Structure 1
Amino acid sequence: MPHLRPLYRAEQVRELDRRTIAAGIDGFALMQQAASAAFDALRQRWPEARRLSVLCGAGNNAGDGYVLAALAVCDGFDVQLIALRDPDSLEGDAGLAVAMARRAGLQPQTWTADMRLTGEVAVDALLGTGLSGEVREPFAEAIEALNSSAMPLLALDIPSGLSADTGAVLGCAVEATLTTTFIGDKLGLHTGAAAAHVGEHRLLTLGVEASQHTDLTPAAWLLDDRPNEWLAPRRRDSHKGDHGHLLVIGGAPGFGGAALLASETAARLGAGRISLATAPEHVTASLTRCPEVMVHGVRGPTDLASLLEAADILVVGPGLGQGAWGQAMWQAALAAGKPLVVDADALNLLAGMATPPYRHDWILTPHPGEAARLLGCSGGEVQRDRPAALAALARRYGGHWVLKGAGSLIGNEAELAVCPFGNPGMAGGGMGDALSGILGSLLAQFGRRGGSELAELARCGVVLHARAADLAAAGDGERGLLAGDLASYARRLANPRTSDVRDTAR
């Protein structure tokens, strides 16, 4: 995915730093460059600010803070410089940074619990990317003070307390307004708890071209919102048979809404034909809501056989239930041998299988709780290392995975991508059903052969889903956003611009 932004683990970025210094750039000069770039970002973000509180810990992250403080004083700022570690204990480039701050006339103050922060903006240079265990005192105390200060916060490289590799909070973490990260972007800044701690994100490469180091394979790729190559304008002579036949299986007695949502969203994304196999009592509701969907009341596997044979792609799980009806539908879907999207109760049924299948032709879309059941662990363990959880799922079950949540992860055993779109309005019922409908529709149109193209379609579907939610929220707000709102926005995103269509027609 060469056109996407690579994301690295902390050790990989430290290796880039080491290579840059080995190539002839002085380490302290690189630190000054980082601090200067961060200070420029601070002035752009808060142009009226003239007072800073800079909190420094140990190591090079603290060194960045000491240099920034010196630059600010020289630019006429009033700087409160606070040390969480004895400045005289800092060595190497960090020690040179302390000396630079003192030459600028600053005398670091030792942190105390009752210290009042006097700046208009606070700078977090407490803990860098090397943190592995939980935050200890006095750093935890200082982080709490920063978060409760009501001041805007600039985090240098990463908000202190956030894991650079996983996006998990290590006990407590700074809630930054702006994070400036250096040289290479970090995976942990884009998934899990990062959404509540990073704030605005800026990558400052400092002139280092990470992509030139081809032996450092990125840990993941950050997806963009450019139209996917699969979504080119349709041929002018195409017909519904060219765009696949999707079968949605779900809606156990009393649980019809989820399957209806998945089916309608799939229809809006352009599958040629969409069938819905659901409990008979939901047929009338489906015909009323979306008559374009060919709905069938299904009592058992015998009723499902002809529908399975006719379909190209299956979506199984929305409203499926875990009772006898859902179990029968699930087993029949697995036996059909068609590429499929697995969601909701189908994931729970998979987790309960004594000998689960291992397949390459399915996309599975768990939230952290469902992922935990599939792995036999807790949801907290999944969230503590989301990338590792996805990799474990792929090793155990094969296929392509969407680990939902803030910074949804999409991947398999070979590669990982992160979706930077979406919003808290998506924390509501039915959003996963809408996603399964989008994915099923894309597979019906472009992925009927299965195989590696399913990975690209999974990424495309997740981005369409999240971007549709963002457009819907931009219009009427996040609170009250419904899963049914996404279909029309996703349709708009899935279609090329009118000018593109005209150009193709000519």
Structure 2
Amino acid sequence: MPHTKDELPDVLYSAAQVRGLDASLIAAGTKGFELMQRAARATWRALVRRWPTASELSVLAGHGNNAGDGYLVAALARRAGWTVRVLTVGDPQRLQGDAALAHAEALSEKVDIETWTAQSGLRGIVLDALLGTGLSGDVREPYASAIAAINASGLPVAAVDIPSGLCADTGRVLGCAVCADLTVTFIGLKLGMFTGDAVNVVGELVFNDLHADPQLLAGAAITALRLTAGNLPRPAARAPASHKGRFGHVLLIGGDRGFGGAILLSAQSALRSGAGMVSVATRSEHVPAVLARVPEAMVLGTSSANQLMGLLQKVSVLVVGPGLGQAAWGRSLLSAAANAPLPQVWDADALNLLAEEQVSLPEGCVITPHPGEAARLLGMSTAEVQADRPAAAHALSKKYTAVVVLKGAGSLIAHPDGRLALCHQGHPAMASAGLGDVLAGLVGALLAQGMAAFDAACLAVWLHANAGEQLGKLGRGLAASDLIPAIRQLLEEQAPCLK
């Protein structure tokens, strides 16, 4: 059965794991060429569904199994009466096994097969059957030039299994990559197709399991879990006799001079996401603004960490960092928080100060870095973090014994025990200041309501991303505060307050 992006399987694999599943299918009795034919038929059906009036196909083929898929799609298109041409970037004489059989089938259907050159014109639908999931280094010539020609053609583009040049494990573009409008992938979903650069090149994603034995898939190791409405952790429903004391007391610490809006956004988010009580420790100058916008909050004008000590004994969860700054005031408040034996969420400047190693993170906390903050925490460049986001998320969770939310396209949630979850929802309109502050307050509220750190982080990221996706349809100009009522509505839909 084909699956579109809204109904994909939940589990994500590495490229090696998918190759292992493929080998297991063959070992269990399904011939490799039969799997290749199934993949070709799935690709052909997706092509016709996406472009129902098309009648011409240009296939660019390499010399691996992806090329075999391409030759078989070409044969199917030829049988359907399309004008078809295969442009070979890899030498067909190098084809082996099933791919060689596929090449022979295309020849038997009298498909026009030519050697690709820079002067080769592309027409109709372009099918990328150049490079597969085994690519590890940057794309080399002549493949790089062929990819550039595809991207410059202005034609509709479909990719077999994965856009050529995209790393299936990390989501990094390896020098260059095909920008596909449609990608048809098989057997198991690859993690790298949902994070990092992948969102720019995968396009519409269609999945086909090639009739793999469900028991075989169920027994395989996985790399990550894709967060969906069907597998989200949820807070418990509330008993009719509930009261505010049962749903936690969140203290939000931050908002140095000039940054009062950040802690205000976090406080609004925590309140509207179900925390029983909300307190804010911020600069005295910001107290009137917080009370005006969030009158339900208890606000402490704070000039020194000493003023926090009594309050820290009364609250159940801390959110530290929004607007905290890196001056002496913020450092002293962060130091006090670090010594409190409470569940905590650290964001923004709390993470920048943590990177300086002037303070230690308590165990069992949640940290929510964007790629730049993650880079400082790991002592590497932002580009290095983005080159392998899953590895960076795992490294941070182990280094700090914390649940890590690595924000960005295809946000990742990592647990020190090795669990990894991914949220691929979101919208480009979310590229706006303050959205991280809303997320931090949301995580804190879910912790206060009794959720475990990993579960709270997963649910918070999904709610935040889906609220942004809904509101992003209205276009640019999305403000962080716009998300808060949308998050509240989504939370109620996913986890009703009353049984």
Which TM-score applies when normalising by structure 1? 0.94
What does residue 369 of structure 1 align with?
A: 372
Give, in angstroms, the shift of residue 293 of structure 1: 1.5
Give, in angstroms, the shift of residue 345 of structure 1: 0.3
Name the CA distance, whole Å, in 2 between partners of 1:356 and 1:55.
Answer: 53
Name the CA distance, whole Å, in 2 between partners of 1:402 and 1:229.
Answer: 16
C-alpha contact 2:347 2:440 (8 A) present in aligned 1: yes
What does residue 307 of structure 1 align with?
A: 311
Name the CA distance, whole Å, in 2 between partners of 1:200 and 1:214.
Answer: 26
Name the CA distance, whole Å, in 1 between partners of 2:232 and 2:174.
Answer: 36
What does residue 35 of structure 1 align with?
A: 40
What does residue 185 of structure 2 align with?
A: 181
Aligned partner letter, 2:378: L
Give, in angstroms, the shift of residue 501 of structure 1: 7.0
Give, in angstroms, the shift of residue 230 of structure 1: 2.6
What does residue 106 of structure 1 align with?
A: 111
What does residue 470 of structure 1 align with?
A: 469
Which of 429, 433, 437 matches 1:433?
437
**Residues 225 and 136 from structure 1, CA distance in 2 versus in 1: closer, same or farther, beyond 3 angstroms?**
same
**Residues 113 and 168 from structure 1, CA distance in 2 versus in 1: closer, same or farther, beyond 3 angstroms?**
same
Name the CA distance, whole Å, in 2 between partners of 1:286 and 1:319.
Answer: 13
Aligned partner letter, 2:73: L
Which of 311, 335, 338 matches 1:331?
335
> What are structure 1's unaligned runs of at least 5 residues?
448-452
Which of 387, 390, 400 matches 2:390?
387
C-alpha contact 1:57 1:83 (8 A) present in aligned 2: yes
Aligned counterparts, 1:43-82, within 5 A: 43-82=48-87
C-alpha contact 1:317 1:346 (8 A) present in aligned 2: yes
Which of 133, 136, 140 matches 2:137?
133
Name the CA distance, whole Å, in 1 between partners of 2:447 and 2:149.
Answer: 50
Q: Tell me if 1:276 matches 2:273.
A: no
What does residue 316 of structure 1 align with?
A: 320
Name the CA distance, whole Å, in 2 between partners of 1:71 and 1:203.
Answer: 19
SS of residue matched to 1:446: coil
Aligned partner letter, 1:85: G
Aligned counterparts, 1:343-358, within 5 A: 343-353=347-357, 356-357=360-361
Q: Tell me if 1:492 matches 2:489.
A: yes
Name the CA distance, whole Å, in 1 between partners of 2:43 and 2:487.
Answer: 37
SS of residue matched to 2:120: coil
C-alpha contact 1:252 1:278 (8 A) present in aligned 2: yes
Which of 90, 96, 99 matches 1:94?
99
SS of residue matched to 2:150: helix
Q: Tell me if 1:169 matches 2:173.
A: yes
C-alpha contact 1:231 1:495 (8 A) present in aligned 2: no
**Residues 355 and 490 from structure 1, CA distance in 2 versus in 1: closer, same or farther, beyond 3 angstroms?**
closer
Give, in angstroms, the shift of residue 360 of structure 1: 3.5
What does residue 450 of structure 1 align with?
A: none
Name the CA distance, whole Å, in 1 between partners of 2:463 and 2:255.
Answer: 24
Give, in angstroms, the shift of residue 26 of structure 1: 1.1
Which of 380, 395, 400 matches 1:397?
400
C-alpha contact 1:16 1:210 (8 A) present in aligned 2: no
Per-residue CA deviations over 1:200-259 (Å, capped at 9, x if unaligned) read: 111110011466355532010111024845344321111111111000000011211100
Name the CA distance, whole Å, in 1 between partners of 2:176 and 2:425.
Answer: 25
Name the CA distance, whole Å, in 2 between partners of 1:347 and 1:377.
Answer: 15
SS of residue matched to 1:285: helix
Aligned counterparts, 1:281-300, within 5 A: 281-300=285-304
Structure 1 window deviating more from structure 2 (3-12 vs 32-41): it is 3-12
Give, in angstroms, the shift of residue 425 of structure 1: 1.1
Give, in angstroms, the shift of residue 189 of structure 1: 0.4
What does residue 128 of structure 2 align with?
A: 124
Give, in angstroms, the shift of residue 356 of structure 1: 3.7
**Residues 439 and 209 from structure 1, CA distance in 2 versus in 1: closer, same or farther, beyond 3 angstroms?**
farther
SS of residue matched to 1:53: strand
Aligned partner letter, 1:466: A
Name the CA distance, whole Å, in 1 between partners of 2:486 and 2:358.
Answer: 41
Aligned partner letter, 2:469: D
SS of residue matched to 1:495: helix
**Residues 211 and 431 from structure 1, CA distance in 2 versus in 1: closer, same or farther, beyond 3 angstroms?**
farther
What does residue 457 of structure 1 align with?
A: 456
Give, in angstroms, the shift of residue 315 of structure 1: 0.2
C-alpha contact 1:251 1:319 (8 A) present in aligned 2: yes
Name the CA distance, whole Å, in 2 between partners of 1:291 and 1:490.
Answer: 20
C-alpha contact 2:471 2:478 (8 A) present in aligned 1: yes
Q: Tell me if 1:18 matches 2:23.
A: yes
**Residues 405 and 501 from structure 1, CA distance in 2 versus in 1: closer, same or farther, beyond 3 angstroms?**
closer
C-alpha contact 1:7 1:219 (8 A) present in aligned 2: yes
**Residues 355 and 472 from structure 1, CA distance in 2 versus in 1: closer, same or farther, beyond 3 angstroms?**
closer
Aligned partner letter, 2:486: Y
C-alpha contact 2:61 2:71 (8 A) present in aligned 1: yes
Which TM-score applies when normalising by structure 2? 0.96
Name the CA distance, whole Å, in 2 between partners of 1:227 and 1:410.
Answer: 15
Name the CA distance, whole Å, in 2 between partners of 1:220 and 1:155.
Answer: 23
**Residues 440 and 211 from structure 1, CA distance in 2 versus in 1: closer, same or farther, beyond 3 angstroms?**
farther
Give, in angstroms, the shift of residue 89 of structure 1: 2.0
**Residues 230 and 118 from structure 1, CA distance in 2 versus in 1: closer, same or farther, beyond 3 angstroms?**
closer
SS of residue matched to 2:110: coil
**Residues 329 and 7 from structure 1, CA distance in 2 versus in 1: closer, same or farther, beyond 3 angstroms?**
same
Q: Tell me if 1:199 matches 2:203.
A: yes
Structure 1 window deviating more from structure 2 (254-263 vs 213-222): it is 213-222
Number of equivalenced pairs:
491
Which of 196, 213, 224 matches 2:228?
224
Give, in angstroms, the shift of residue 190 of structure 1: 0.6
What does residue 153 of structure 1 align with?
A: 157
Name the CA distance, whole Å, in 2 between partners of 1:460 and 1:272.
Answer: 18
SS of residue matched to 1:230: coil
Give, in angstroms, the shift of residue 347 of structure 1: 0.3
Aligned partner letter, 2:329: W
Aligned partner letter, 1:344: A
C-alpha contact 1:184 1:210 (8 A) present in aligned 2: no
Name the CA distance, whole Å, in 2 between partners of 1:214 and 1:239.
Answer: 42
C-alpha contact 2:430 2:472 (8 A) present in aligned 1: no
Aligned-residue identity in percent: 51
Q: Tell me if 1:482 matches 2:464.
A: no
Give, in angstroms, the shift of residue 91 of structure 1: 1.1
